[in-house]
A and B are shown apart, each in its own frame.
Chain A
Amino acid sequence: MWWVKVIVGGPLDSDHVGRESGGGGGCLTYVDQFSVRVGLLVLLVAAAVAVGVWRRRTDGRARAVAGGDVLDAAALRAPLGSRATLVQFSTDFCQPCKAAHRVLAREADRTPGVAHVEVDAADRDDLVRRFGVRRTPTLLVLDPGGRVVGRAGGVPDPGDIRAALAEAGIR
């Protein structure tokens, strides 16, 4: 491989000084070009790691919503829980949605007055648009009146759900 020879042989070899590579590298020598490529690769991987770590931290984290819209039983086409409703937006091709369903159903079971309603995002495009649902699963936590008090994207963390419910005054 040519770049091994250049690195091992040294960059100031007179054969290589000033020679362009075919890809339009301008007046960069082979080694300079290779350094740029390595730098680019490192930069891209670092950026990807940053995105991955950020996503891992925010995934499933329920955040409180102030001044949220109201999603009543009529619009939801399902009865609301007497103390809270966990509305899950899912799609049939979404694998994390099944995990989210298990987590939310368990929370609803163990907490009296909390209902779990699953909405097919494909069927209810009106709700998807209204609440800006961009990914599935997305969870909306509703208070007894149907007002959105919490929101989470990704598979929700049970501790986070309980915290969101607690913040809305529900234990």
Chain B
Amino acid sequence: MIDPRGPRFAAALTTLVLAAALLTGSVWLLAFQVAVFALTWATPIAPYGLLYRHLLRPRLGPPAELEDARPPRFAQLVGLLVTGAGLVLAVAGVPWAVEAGAGLGLVAAFLNAAFGLCLGCELYLLARRTHLAH
């Protein structure tokens, strides 16, 4: 169980990074976000979560409620797949791949940050039913 404000803060940072990647077409910025998604999904190290915990959380105080970590974690996997695909295509030389990958990731991250709507989390139920996640 985690503080639900952590993933939302992470989504806000993700939005900024992917917006910068989109505006500059920078493969490196996209790669950075792909790395963050990969770390957060697959390891106990969540870079944006650590920033939240050390910078924001002390100023905010405890959360009113906790949420299950599994859906937000699955959402990181969805982000990883989308931006990772963009990165692979970009490295392969496909034009506008950085912008496409960053753009799609940006929409999902922005929806989460601004509206609290976590698309990946909503997919988690479907993934559970089709045994793509556990």
Residues of A within 8 A of B (CB): 3, 21, 23-26, 33-34, 37-38, 40-41, 44-45, 47-49, 51-52, 55-56, 91-95, 98, 121-122, 125, 128, 134-136
Inter-chain contacts of B42 with A (CB < 8 A)? none
Is B68 a contact partner of A92 (Cβ separation < 8 A)? yes
Interface residues of B in 72-120 (CB under 8 A from A): 90, 93-96, 98-99, 103, 106-107, 110-111, 114-115, 117
Inter-chain contact B111/A51, CB cutoff 8 Å: yes
- Known contacts A95-B4, A95-B68: A44-B125 contact under CB 8 Å: no
A45 close to B110 (CB less than 8 A): yes
B96 x A23 contact (CB < 8 A): yes
A-chain residues with CB within 8 Å of residue B110 when the two chains form the complex:
44-45, 48
Contact B124 A56 (CB under 8 A): no
Say whether, besides A49-B114, A52-B115, A40 and B22 are in contact (CB < 8 Å): yes
Tier of interface size on chain B: 20 to 34
Interface assignment of B25: CB less than 8 Å from any CB of chain A:
yes
Q: How far is the CA of A49 from the CA of B124 in the complex (A)?
A: 23
Residues of B near A45 (CB, < 8 A) are 106, 110
